[in-house]
Amino acid sequence: DAFKDTCKSKLDSPLEFASFNFYWEDVPIFLLRELIRHRVGTSFAEQSLRFAVLDENIVDKFDPNFAKSVDTPEKKKEYFDTLRLLVKQYKNLIDMGIEVQDARNVLGVWVPTHITTGFTYRALRDILSLRQSSQAHSCWQDAVKQIKALVKEVDPILEEELKDTCAM
């Protein structure tokens, strides 16, 4: 009851004492940029594309559902052929002797990467209140479902308080 009362009030600083760490694998950079905008109560350690060399199979890790307007076989072929071309150009630059940290500039924000994050419960609650609405990008909707399932394993009441801002 005290926890639920704290969640209802604006005096929610006690929620900063609980924290969660998540390892995110193969998430698009655009999702991470949105995530990193939430600076208070968070910490991040992202895979550096200055040192990690990507290969062509990275395109297969990009979920087509994250590009909703790519909705026909023709569009899908063109879209993914373009992504493959970008990776091929990136690899060609490296093969020419251009450093990885310079070659990475031809890659887009679709590139899947890895990140480890730490959130206070208060920060996690604030982030998910904005990112689980029906207007959120499908990539975020997928991430929210996974996070809420993991939090529910820890405690169902903690998961219950991770509400969409529109539902509050």
Q: How do residues 134-162 score in pLDDT, each as one tens digit?
A: 888 888 989 999 999 999 999 999 999 99
**What is the average pLDDT score of the chain?**
89
Q: Is the pLDDT of residue 95 over 80?
A: yes
pLDDT of residue 168: 67
Calculate the CA dihedral of residues 126, 131, 132, 134 and round it to 10 degrees.
Answer: 140
Q: Give the pair of three-digit tokens for residue 108.
A: 């887009």
Can you tell me the mean pLDDT for 29-51? Answer: 84
Sheet holding 19-28, edge to edge: 19-28, 112-120, 42-46
pTM of the model: 0.77
